[in-house]
Amino acid sequence: MRKNFGAKPWTYPQPVFIIATYGEDGTPDAMNAAWGGISDDTQISMCLSAEHKTVANILARGAFTVSMADAAHVAECDYVGIESANKVPNKLAKAGFHTEKAEHVDAPIIVELPMSVECRLISYDEETCRLVGEIVNVSADEKILDENGKIDPVPPGGCHRDFQYFKRGEKI
């Protein structure tokens, strides 16, 4: 037997993307987003409503980075999702994160998160809230690389949302 729930935005796993940008005065900012993903070989798409400070920053600077939350930083990642930079301009620092400038785009990389995707803005549609970015580089901390220099997601422990936060489990 199946139970019907009506029209709901429910799929899983949902990613825990941490989108980092610079504000007009250079203050690094970050938000937490679940509605998005890869949309082409070198393209990422996300649905972000226009009132986010992140969206204003991306439109002004034309760039952003996307990191993925890991289980070790779920509290910090959740905080940047709950708090708004429109109210707490230094919320990224308040979360305990540190940043350095990305090598390829005008946006910050969050040092504590081990992988980041550097993106240039392709388009933003205020009506549909769809933001499309060109991926220009992926970088990963050497602590998540295996002996061949490839990204090995097993040791560091990712996390994701299936309605709640979960750690990554065993490899199948």
Shortest Cβ 128–its own copies spacing (Å): 7
Distances (CA, A) of 83 to 95, 99, 137: 10, 18, 28
| Length of the chain (residues) | 172
- Residue closer to its own copies by CB (options 23, 158) is 158
Shortest Cβ 89–its own copies spacing (Å): 27
- Residue closer to its own copies by CB (options 11, 25) is 11
- Residue closer to its own copies by CB (options 37, 90) is 37
- Residue closer to its own copies by CB (options 92, 159) is 159
Residues binding its own copies (CB under 8 A): 1-15, 17, 34-45, 47, 66, 68, 71, 74, 103, 109, 115, 117, 128-130, 134-142, 145, 149, 151, 153, 157-160, 162-172
Q: Nearest Cα to 52, choosing from 13, 25, 76, 20?
A: 20
Shortest Cβ 28–its own copies spacing (Å): 17
Shortest Cβ 56–its own copies spacing (Å): 20
CA dihedral sign of residues 83, 138, 165, 70: negative
In degrees to the nearest 10, what's the CA dihedral of 29, 23, 110, 118?
120
- Residue closer to its own copies by CB (options 23, 156) is 156
SS3 143: helix
Count Cβ neighbours within 10 Å for each residue of 64-89 and write b for 16 or more, e otherwise: bbbbbbbeebeebbebbbebbbeebe
Shortest Cβ 29–its own copies spacing (Å): 20
